[in-house]
Chain A
Amino acid sequence: MTATDIRPSSDTLLTTKAPVKRSYGQYIRWLLLFLGGIAMVMPIAWMISTSLKWPHEVYNLKLIPDEPTIENYTYVLEDGRFYGWFMNSIIIAVITTVSNILFDSLVGYTLCKFKFPGRYIIFIAILSTLMIPTEMLVIPWYIMSQNFGWLDTYWGIMFPGLMTAFGTFLMKQFFETVPDDFLEAARIDGLNELQIWWSVAMPLVKPALAALAIFVFLGNWTAFIWPLIVTNSPEMYTVPVGLSGFGDEADVAWELIMTGAAISTIPTLIVFIVFQRFIIRGVVMAGLKG
């Protein structure tokens, strides 16, 4: 990687900041952000609290259950099908995430860094795919899947999400922060365009890639309507489709829904913790005039 050098990490930057200013404002800032953060997760606290209640206590809306129980968790986890759904969801979310990271950034990069006729049209056309609600696409996709024999398969569940306009747009915007000089320098070094994209441009947009990964993983992890329509056999269900069985015509077992919601937040939380490191570190590209 030519023409880059190490930028001072934000940590050292902050410590070199005037220490007087840091004391007061910094404490208040921290306190407000912390309190705001606590307020943000209050509804989630209720979710967890409800998941620890017996059915008769669910509508008693205390935050601390009178007789806490982990019965709901054992019930959900003992349901043998849950692990299958969990694995299906993981497989689908991981493959889709990888696909999006590759293709969305490739398309975003091309639309951002190549000047060619039709690029604006393609960008708008791709963007316009965000403007049709999924509900209206489900039936054509179903007919398509049926013709190609994709019903009730992993491929059938994931094909609509392998590339997204959202990711393309995000990556295009972030590639705009990458100075063209970098790419030109790489070109002079003799790299071809694919190499430039992969080994020069991509590392510079890691924070955006991390955000994209989190977003796509989460989107597929929680997708409901399409996985429901395209699958027939319970073995192929994803977690949200499987969990929807806890609500039926007469009785929505909220304590089980909360339990399922709490359990299915864990993988996304892990993905978030893993990928947010890339956002903390920031990008290594100082010492250049943009």
Chain B
Amino acid sequence: MNALKTYLLSGAVSLAAIGSAQAVEIEYWQYFFDARVTAMEQLIENFEAANPDITVNMTHFPYADYRTKVAAAIPAGEGPDVVQLFYGWLNDYVEAELIQPLPADTFDPARIDAEFFPMVQAMKDGDQYWALPTAVRSLALFYNERLFEEAGIESPPETLDELVEIAGQLTKRDGAGNITQVGITTGMNAQDHHWFREVLVRQMGGDPYENNYQTVNYNTDAGQAAAAFYTGLEAEHGVTAAGFMDEPQAAFKAGMAGMHIDGSFRIGALDKVRGLRWGVTELPANAEGMRSNYSSYWVNAITTKAEDERYDASVKFMEYVTSDEAMQIWLDVVGELPAKPSVGMTDANANHEVYGPFIRGLAYANTTIFANESAQRQVLMDMVQRVSIEDLPLTEALATAAEEEQVILDEYYAD
């Protein structure tokens, strides 16, 4: 019996040995984003040069439908070996046993805990990591330098009060009182829902969620103050208009908005707009100087489809795409921030004119754990519109939003 076992085992080992000597092909999927595709091509090239027996085939799909595509393909066993997923989707993939944990010998959890930005720990379950990001992203305040000069404004706002004041100076109206240039763009549909949750509520002294993001906690004085500040930008100070120029980033691109809160992924798009001179600064602090930020990230994970030599190759590939070298390449090509402070917080990166504000923001960023991001975003969009369109008192609208979001969370965590 023992002899047989040994025989079989040795057979398996020699088979594995043959396998690793042969060429292995693995599939990698991500969504389409010009710079990300370019960066990944570069990473794959470097990786293949170091591992001549492994070939990585990358396929990318349109961003808007990427989630559906992945969700259709992976359970059917048609997906890739290594896949890029949004951090918020990971739970579902772990529960459905569609991805495999990263081996602890190569991806030592203690080391990852120590080396990566703390929010990455959301990818850990027990004592193993399920997925890791190459890069993370955060928010910052973009501003139009030409409009600032025109209005004689020296420097971008440091605090929320300054934000309101400067936005006032940047707002323009025509003779009939119609707004023709907004001081700051607003739109819960864009990045503002993150700004509200993780930044404004915290700056007003609150904590947007409790119980590991399973309990809504912004129907409080702090939440009230945050919502009042946010809706006040339009209702009270008149420095913005919701839906102005169709969407916030369009208004900023068109040079018809003084300031605009957005994520680091917008940098490339703004760079392409000829004639737009813009700067970027950290999100404004509150009166006490307290800052906050929202961070999110895409991770890479190994699917259960990867077996044997393809699994080994996938582990190697994962190791490379989460290496310091890969992170720096990703920053240089995509403009997304390295997931390790040791790479991100170098003097050169942290003081970088464009990346600096985002990277510094990471130090005090929080990551919302969403059950259904689009539904939770919708709740806040509805809150603002209940006030602006239906004239509901803000307290009531806020309470409704908190209730609605709690229902979404309860339903998700009930299973």
A interface vs B, CB < 8 Å? 54-56, 59-60, 138-139, 142-143, 146, 151, 225, 228-229, 232-234, 241, 244-245, 247-251
Contact = CB atoms under 8 A, between A and B. Distances in A.
A134 to B, nearest CB: 13
Contact of A248 (B34, B250, B273, B275): B34
A72 to B, nearest CB: 13
Contacts of A241: 62
B33 A56 contact: no
Given A244-B62, A245-B32, A248-B32, 4 more contacts: A54-B274, A55-B273, A59-B251, A225-B65
Complex A-B, nearest 9 residue pairs according to Cβ-Cβ distance, in ascending order: A251-B269, A59-B254, A244-B62, A56-B274, A248-B33, A250-B265, A249-B63, A250-B269, A248-B63
Nearest to A60: B254
B190 to A, nearest CB: 11
Nearest to A142: B72
A233 B34 contact: no
6 contacts: A225-B65, A233-B59, A248-B31, A248-B34, A249-B33, A249-B63
Contact of A146 (B61, B63, B68, B76): B76
A238 to B, nearest CB: 12
A232 B76 CA distance: 13
Interface string B237-266: 000000001000011011010000001011
A228 B65 contact: yes
B64 interface: yes
A17 B68 CA distance: 60
Contacts of A225: 65
B131 to A, nearest CB: 19
Contacts of A151: 78
A244 B263 CA distance: 22
A7 to B, nearest CB: 50
A139 B33 contact: no
A269 to B, nearest CB: 25
Nearest to B79: A232
Interface in B267-307: 268-269, 272-276
A55 B268 CA distance: 13
Given A56-B276, A233-B59, A241-B62, A250 B76 contact: no
B69 interface: yes
A147 to B, nearest CB: 9
A59 B34 CA distance: 22
A248 B35 CA distance: 10
A195 B254 CA distance: 64
A244 B64 contact: yes
A228 B69 contact: yes
Contacts of B34: 248
Given A59-B253, A146-B76, A232-B59, A250 B64 contact: no
Interface string B120-145: 00000000000000000000000000
B273 A56 contact: yes
B285 to A, nearest CB: 26
Nearest to B29: A232
A229 B266 CA distance: 27
A232 B69 CA distance: 9
Nearest to B272: A55
B268 A251 contact: yes
Nearest to A151: B78
A228 B62 contact: yes
Contacts of A249: 31, 33, 63, 265
B217 to A, nearest CB: 29
Given A241-B62, A250-B265, A146 B78 contact: yes
Contacts of B266: 250-251
Contacts of B64: 244, 247
Interface in B31-48: 31-34
Contacts of A59: 245, 250-251, 253-254, 256
B250 A247 contact: no
Contacts of A54: 274
A76 to B, nearest CB: 14
Contacts of A56: 253, 273-276
Interface string B51-84: 0000000010111110011001100111000000
Contacts of B31: 248-249
Given A228-B61, A249-B33, A249-B63, A142 B76 contact: yes
Contacts of B263: 250
Nearest to B80: A232
A78 to B, nearest CB: 15
A250 B268 contact: yes
Nearest to B254: A59
B258 to A, nearest CB: 16
Most buried by A among B31, B76, B250, B251: B76
A233 B69 CA distance: 13
